[in-house]
């Protein structure tokens, strides 16, 4: 981890002490498992295993559908363990090879958001990501632990494309998932966690039960918008210590600074 990133994590811990997290559902985002690339979000399988063991033992791990039901009810459940949802983005082969056996061993459910064109055409993802095959995706559905969500068809950024194009992106990904996997996706994740323009957000709300954006913070029991759920990204450098803090709803400052950096980085990019 770079010096600036390490300093930011330490500052964030201090800020959490001053401003404790509200109770609610923490949704985690993972991208890759197996450490096949030097990406900051490609976790060693052993670390992912340790994290899933922690969730299974110390937390109430929910499917996104169950979490949506609780958030809709709008009251804090009597169980005071952290409530956590595990999600994955994109659709790479390492999920079935590395992550799924770990999830099965610990009985942890997960939602996997697929950018369907990459799978359909077997296109490589950025950063050496090998696309899943439909057969592998069928295996994850058959496990009964993995719920398939949409992440658009081409990984399109919905803050910058016209509504007709956005509608096509969403409908195409839904149709492709239905055709190949026999399930209708209920959940949606905005690519790069960028909320759509107001018209595109309307297209998302019409089609899905939930939608997720970025932001490291829990979704409070009262007043959460199911179409703007926040998710906390997990990085290799979180190890177990920062991971546990994120699970408990902490590390919000890290996110606020990263948001600022990303806003600059994605400004003007088209995909």
Choose between 78 and 126: whose C-beta lies nearer to Zn ion: 126
Tokens of 111: 């939602």
Element (H, E) at 42: strand 42-43
- Rounded distance, CA 21 to CA 251, Å? 9
Nearer to Zn ion, 26 or 92 (CB): 92
Q: Of 42 and 89, which has the nearer Cβ to Zn ion? A: 89
Dmax (CA) of the chain:
50
Question: Is 16 among the residues that bind Zn ion (CB under 5 A)?
Answer: no
What's the min distance (Å) between Cβ of 10 and Zn ion? Answer: 28
Tell me if 238 contacts Zn ion by CB under 5 A. Answer: no
Candidate list 16, 90, 169, 244; residue touching Zn ion; CB under 5 A: 90
Let me know: does 84 contact 121? Beta carbons within 8 Å. Answer: no
Q: Using the rule CB under 5 A, is 201 a contact of Zn ion? A: no
Distance in angstroms (rounded) separating the CA atoms of residues 183 and 118: 18
According to the binding rule CB under 5 A, does residue 169 interact with Zn ion?
no
Choose, by CB under 5 A, the member of 16, 42, 49, 89 that binds Zn ion.
89
Stretch touching Zn ion by CB under 5 A, among 54-62, 99-107, 185-193, 247-255? 185-193
Closest residue to Zn ion in the complex (CB): 89
Give buried/exposed letters for 255-271 (b at 16+ CB in 10 A, else e).
beebeeeeeeebeeeee
| CA gap 230, 214 in Å, rounded | 5
Q: Which is nearer to Zn ion, 53 or 194 (CB)?
A: 194
- Is there binding between residue 147 and Zn ion (CB under 5 A)? no
**Site for Zn ion, rule CB under 5 A:** 89-90, 191
């Amino acid at each position: 981890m770079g010096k600036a990133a390490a300093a930011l994590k330490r500052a964030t811990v201090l800020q959490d002490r001053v401003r404790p997290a509200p109770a609610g559902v923490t949704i985690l985002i993972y991208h890759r498992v197996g450490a096949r690339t030097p990406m900051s979000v490609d976790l060693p399988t052993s670390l992912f295993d340790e994290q899933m063991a922690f969730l299974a033992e110390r937390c109430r791990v929910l499917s996104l559908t169950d979490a949506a039901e609780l958030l809709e009810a709008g009251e804090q459940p009597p169980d005071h363990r952290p409530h956590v949802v595990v999600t994955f983005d994109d659709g790479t082969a390492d999920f079935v090879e590395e992550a799924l056996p770990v999830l099965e061993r610990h009985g942890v459910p997960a939602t996997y958001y697929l950018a369907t064109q990459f799978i359909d055409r077997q296109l490589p993802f950025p950063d050496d990501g090998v696309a899943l095959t439909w057969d592998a995706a069928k295996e994850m559905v058959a496990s009964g632990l993995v719920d398939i969500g949409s992440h658009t068809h081409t990984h399109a950024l919905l803050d910058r494309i016209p509504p007709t194009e956005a509608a096509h992106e969403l409908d195409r990904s839904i149709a492709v998932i239905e055709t190949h996997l026999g399930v209708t996706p209920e959940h949606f994740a905005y690519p790069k966690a960028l909320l759509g323009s107001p018209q595109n957000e309307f297209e998302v709300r019409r089609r899905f039960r939930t939608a997720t954006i970025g932001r490291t913070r829990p979704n409070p029991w009262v007043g959460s918008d199911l179409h703007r759920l926040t998710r906390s990204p997990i990085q290799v450098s979180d190890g177990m210590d920062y991971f546990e803090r994120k699970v408990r709803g902490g590390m919000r400052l890290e996110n606020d600074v990263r948001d600022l950096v990303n806003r600059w980085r994605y400004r003007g990019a088209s995909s």
